[in-house]
Structure 1
Amino acid sequence: MAQEKKSEFTVSYSSPSNEPFAITNSIPAPSTSSVQDKTTYLSALREAVTSAQDQINKELTDRMEQDKSRATDGNPAAAKGVDEALEEENYGEEVQGED
């Protein structure tokens, strides 16, 4: 019985202020170089990437909430007047046009 070969991709995140995380997905490698096997492999890869994106978004949203919580601890005035949608849209990016 031949062992099934697997391909693997890993995403890792680290930050000085948050816990690191890593996501690893294994995908069966194509058993032959046929178009059908390659198509099946690419379909599985696409699904795995979509799943990883969902996990990454959840993890980063959790970390954004942790950052906001730390920023407002002991400073209730900091929590007032924050546009949550704008904060999430611009999280981790330099915002242009702020004075």
Structure 2
Amino acid sequence: MANTPLQAVYTAPDATKSFQHAIPMTSVTASDPLAAKLAHLRALQSLVPKLQDEVNVYLTARMEEDKKAQGQASEKEAKEEENYGEEVVEDDA
């Protein structure tokens, strides 16, 4: 079996993040291809949840950043709307 990593790539307009895990080579000999395939599948079965956890942690952090950025923009818009049509003088004190 080729040593192909388990990989996921998140792509957004402003960011790209790659997640990767090496799939361990099996010590099973080529004389038993079924055992080699089963060992490979067991390795994948243990790595996929780890990869999912990493992706979920990253996406949760991205969502929190987006919420904060959106909240700051909303506060600024609300302040501008509140003062619409009025001249606002900032205190320099």
> Normalized against structure 2, the TM-score is what?
0.64
Equivalent residue, structure 1, for 2:86: none
More helix by share: 2
Tell me by how many angstroms 1:5 deviates.
5.0
Is 1:20–2:19 an aligned residue pair?
Answer: no
What's the CA shift string for 1:48-67, capped at 9, x where partnerless? 11111000000100011011
Which ranges in structure 2 are unaligned for 5 or more consecutive residues? 76-93
| 4+ residue runs over 6 A deviation | none
> Normalized against structure 1, the TM-score is what?
0.60
Identity across matched positions, percent: 26
Give the root-mean-square deviation of aligned CA atoms.
2.6
Q: How many residues align?
A: 74
Pick the structure with greater CA Rg: 2
Tell me by how many angstroms 1:41 deviates.
0.9
Which ranges in structure 1 are unaligned for 5 or more consecutive residues? 77-99
Q: Which has the higher contact order (CA 8 A, sep 6+)?
A: 2
